[in-house]
Amino acid sequence: MSRVGIIEYLKGSRSNDRFKHIMGVVSVAGQLARQEGYDQGRAELAGLLHDLAKGLATVQLKELLAQSGWVVDQIEMEVPELLHAPVGAYLALTKFGINDPEILEAIRYHTIGSPEMGLLARIIYIADYIEPNRSFPGLEEIRNLAGQGIEAALIAITGNIIKYNIERGRIVHPNTLLLRNSCLRRTT
Ligand SMILES: [Fe+2]
Ligand SMILES: [Fe+2]
């Protein structure tokens, strides 16, 4: 399906807010790609597809996950909301024929992150967090950091996520910390 076809599909099947979020991610992903010397069209396509499985019922997510071949960990199974990432990658492949491994990796890891993930996955992880429809204290600062470089933004975002979960007594996914450490090592 063409890019326009995918946009039409998403427009017709998502709530207005979700569609706006997706298009926000597309736009920021495109900007970050230009800034980092990555293919803009590929980044925008990943942004367009990243939440493909968002909003599916847990039963459906688990069913599709079983078919997908993606391996998930125990925390992802305990927090079904996280499963829309690997299932989204599966739907991008099966529904839209997207087999670009970097796009599939970006969709699969946009929730929990991964210390090994490549540039496109890093771009989508950041774009998902800072896209223009989001607003919370400290976000403007992170947007400015992202304008200067990927790693500094990732350190700030993962730090925020860790603090946010700890303050609320929630589980922190270890990948968030591993991703943060990998960025700290790259920058020092
Ligand atoms: Fe998502
Ligand atoms: Fe998202």
Give the environment of ion ligand 2: residues with CB less than 5 A: 51, 128
Long-range contacts of the stretch 99-105 (C-beta < 8 A, 24+): 100/42, 100/45, 102/42, 102/46, 103/42, 103/45, 103/46, 103/49
Could you tell me the maximum CA-CA distance found in the chain, to the nearest angstrom? 46
pLDDT for the residue 37: 98
Cβ atoms of 86 and 65 within 8 Å: the answer is yes
Cβ atoms of 130 and 145 within 8 Å: the answer is no
Distance 49 CA to ligand 2 centre (A): 9
Distance 169 CA to ligand 2 centre (A): 23
Q: How many CA atoms lie within 13 A of 122 on its CB side?
A: 22
pTM for this entry: 0.96
Q: How confident is the model at residue 188 (pLDDT cuts 50, 70, 90)?
A: confident
pLDDT for the residue 186: 87
pLDDT at residue 86 greater than cutoff 80 = yes
186/3 Cα distance (integer angstroms): 34
pLDDT tens-digit map of 154-187 = 999 999 999 999 999 999 999 999 999 999 998 8
Ligand nearest to the CA of 131: 2
Phi and psi at residue 187, to the nearest 5°:
-100, -10
Cβ atoms of 43 and 30 within 8 Å: the answer is yes
- Other Cβ atoms less than 10 A from the Cβ of 90: the count is 21
Distance 45 CA to ligand 1 centre (A): 15
Distance 128 CA to ligand 2 centre (A): 5
Cβ atoms of 144 and 129 within 8 Å: the answer is no
Q: How confident is the model at residue 15 (pLDDT cuts 50, 70, 90)?
A: very high
Q: How confident is the model at residue 48 (pLDDT cuts 50, 70, 90)?
A: very high
Distance 177 CA to ligand 1 centre (A): 19
pLDDT tens-digit map of 127-157 = 999 999 999 999 999 999 999 999 999 999 9
| Across 18-22, 45-49, 85-89, 136-140, least confident range | 136-140
22/37 Cα distance (integer angstroms): 22
Distance of CA 32 to the CA centre of its chain: 14
- Other Cβ atoms less than 10 A from the Cβ of 10: the count is 18
- Percent of the chain's residues with pLDDT above 90: 96
Mean of pLDDT values over 73-96: 96
Domains of the chain with CATH codes: 3-187 (1.10.3210.10)
pLDDT for the residue 1: 79
Distance 124 CA to ligand 2 centre (A): 9
Distance 124 CA to ligand 1 centre (A): 10
